[in-house]
Amino acid sequence: MKSKQIYLDSHASTPVDQDILSSMLPFFTEFYGNGNHKAGWKTTSAIENARFQVSNLIGAKPSEITFTSGATEAINMALLGLAKANKSEKNHIVTQNTEHKAVLQCINALKEQGYKITMLKVDKVGRIKIEELKKAVTNKTLVVAIMLANNEIGTTQPIEDIGNICKSKGAKFFCDITQGLGWFPLNMKTLNIDLAALTAHKFYGPKGIGTLYIKKTNPRIVIEPILFGGGQENGIRPGTSNVPAIVGLGKACELLQINAEEQFHRISNLRNRLQKQLFASIDGIKLNGCPVNRHPGNLNISIPSISGEKLKGLLSNVMFSTSSACSSSSSKPSHVLSAINDDETIIASSFRLGINKYNTNKEIDFVAQKIIQLAKINN
């Protein structure tokens, strides 16, 4: 165990499942055509099957699924494309200060175009206050952008309540469901979600493929393209389809739908096993995020006696993150941790452990023992 690499950074990316990889391989070397002929018909059929698999997982219609290069592109298409199509007098957007940087940067760009922004603050466990959202949404609000599960601290938001508020006030609801996909019951219609983004590499699929869900009924949501080229994906997202990745995404959704409940319990049990050992043995340890409404595999904690970066250096065979993987190139403190903490020591000592279906009890116990040992040495 000492020399083995233990991967606990599954909010950043997960390994590709072998069954998913196997489903992809023929589309690299055997079924590679994309024209109007037998070879192309095979790939077209595979794409449409994947579209069904994705839609079936999230309670949508296949026609409401647009394939993208990942969640970041889907977020940009949703927010910028919605604003581009907005011919009304709605010039207001509501979001929260712990959203993914892709959402926040899109909204900053729209602010420069004249949109008024309400930035909701979260409480100490990372949840918005529903009463504040009710007050923020007006008849001028174009869209509310609130994610399902936070990629750093794992806190989940009350998206059913959010959807109901948006529907009652005539605002669109955009939800980044990337981190919560599969762990929580999702039905785009019953949750009143109008637009949603997801990506495959968070649930054992390949990198570089994602989906934008665009509601087409009651009311039909219209966005304008932000990319131009061929007519693929109904002209909303032009470009040659990444067929192997699309097939992999579809298979990942199919497997997740079959195995979600079993995986939820197994992964959350591993997380609880790790948390119980650490919190029983380390003085001053703190949980970052919500202890109840949370991603099953997320454990974001701080140990005041040792910084997250120092711990990472001492645990060279354990892979984990001291900040969001998507913003790890920045030397600035995590905007998510800063939103729920005003103590710089806690922020500096924080780190995120992300558990996946391949982790074992033996790995969890080894990591717990090593962290406990290092915390006591550095106390």
Contact of 64 with 215, CB cutoff 8 Å: yes
Phi-psi label, residue 114: left if phi above 0, alpha if psi -120 to 50, beta otherwise: left
166 is catalytic: no
CA 71 to chain CA mean position, Å: 8
How does 261-294 read in b/e, with b if 16+ C-beta sit within 10 Å?
eebbebbbebbeebbebbeeebeebbbbbbeebb
Contact 374, 306 (CB under 8 A): yes
* Closest C-alpha to 170, from 74, 111, 97, 89: 89
Q: Which residues of 195-232 are buried (b: 16+ CB within 10 A; e: fewer)?
A: bbbbbbbbbbbbbbbbbbbbbeeeeebebebbeeeeeb
Burial of 233 (0-12, 13-18, 19+ CB in 10 A): buried
Say how far apart CA 267 and CA 182 lie, in whole Å: 12
Name the nearest CA neighbour of 233 among 21, 98, 48: 48
- Of the residues 106, 166, 253, 326, only one is catalytic, namely 326
HSE of 157 in the Cβ direction (CA atoms, 13 Å)?
33
Do 306 and 375 touch, CB atoms closer than 8 A?
Answer: yes
Q: Name the phi and psi angles at 319, rounded to 5.
A: -95, 115
Residue numbers annotated as active site: 326
